Structure 1
Amino acid sequence: MAYKSTGGPIDLPSLFSDLVRCETRLYNALNDRLRERHGIVTSQFEFLSYLRDRPGARVADVAAEFAIGIGATSKSVDRLEKLGWVVRQPNPSDRRSSLLALTDDGLTLVDAAAETFAEHLAELLGGMVGDVPGASRMSAVAQVLAELRRALERDQIGMPTG
């Protein structure tokens, strides 16, 4: 079904397909590079980055950020803890939950992986960003996607039920 816009009709199913396929291909390419250079996958990198930037986050906070279930998030944190990259600490304001923190090894790993991630993402996006033709279009896409994400999160759309 096409919807009218100021630039003409937009084929929303095709837009959805393009968004999903681009995300999947970028995610997989980043996954391969992170695994090759640091022995981690993209989802682990994202969790570690989140915890680096938000010390004292809870499992529920991580689950909400990534729109995944608390059970799946807890299992992922268990794996990161077993690898020695994350620790659970008692939550002084709620004994039912714990606060998550990176270990020194986790911090070293995520900092090194962040450089690889940023470099490879810049390679993958090539001429679509920076001071080149097409950058203003990519900037517009980034703005639209940020607005869409804010609206989806504000309205709690797509959140897991379990």
Structure 2
Amino acid sequence: MAYKLSGDGVDLPGFFSDLVRCETRLYNALNDRLRERHGIVTSQFEFLRFLRDHPGARVADLAAEFAIGVGATSKSADRLEKQGWIVRQPNPSDRRSSLLALTDDGSQLADAAEQTFTDTLAALIGDTLDGSSAAAAVRALSKLRSVLERDQIGTPTG
């Protein structure tokens, strides 16, 4: 653990380091498990899950949700479409954009991968954090994310 509480202060650079390293390790572990069991990686699963839960989303909606550029998001959508997991449909209210939808195969994949994703997270996090510390972490990160999103901090410009 890199950060320390000292008196009233928190070592924020150390906290940042821990936060990023935890995210990276969790993401990599999820990548490995999802690839092994379903032939996809975490970013693909997250896109599929988002589209399952937000029917009719646009590439711009995915980009905003994941705080990544529209170009990279469109290329990722192209790869999912090539695999037969999503389709692009005309947007009746804006001819310049498409609406994205899961195919039946994409929906089945998202549902199957959801269980693997949840079980893997539970195994990785559940044994480390008890109920109260997990709840405190969830509250703190949710509040931080809300403020960053509200203030549009870290939003790609392209």
Give the TM-score range, shorter chain.
Answer: over 0.9
Gaps of 5+ in 2: none
For residues 117-132 of structure 1, the aligned pairs below 5 Å read 117-128=117-128
Q: Distance in 2 between matches of 1:115 and 1:64?
A: 25
The residue aligned with 2:151 is 155
**Cα root mean square deviation, aligned:** 1.5
Alignment gaps of 5+ in structure 1: none
Q: d(CA) in 1 for partners of 2:18 and 2:134? A: 15
Task: Give the CA deviation at 1:137.
Answer: 1.3
Instruction: Report 1:7-156 matches (<5 A).
Output: 8-128=8-128, 134-156=130-152
Shift of 1:161: 1.2
CA contact (8 A) 1:128 1:135 kept: no
Between the aligned residues of both structures, percent identity stands at 73
TM-score by length of 2: 0.94
SS of residue matched to 1:100: strand
Displacement of 1:157 in angstroms is 0.1
Q: Secondary structure at the match of 2:127?
A: helix
What SS is found at the alignment partner of 2:87? strand
Separation in 2 of the partners of 1:137 and 1:104?
39
TM-score between both structures, scaled by the size of structure 1: 0.92
Equivalents in 2 of 1:22, 1:16: separation in Å? 10
- Report the Cα distance in structure 1 between the residues aligned to 2:14 and 2:90, rounded to whole angstroms: 47
Q: Matched residues in 2 for 1:16 and 1:147: separation?
A: 16
Deviation at 1:9, TM superposition (A): 1.6
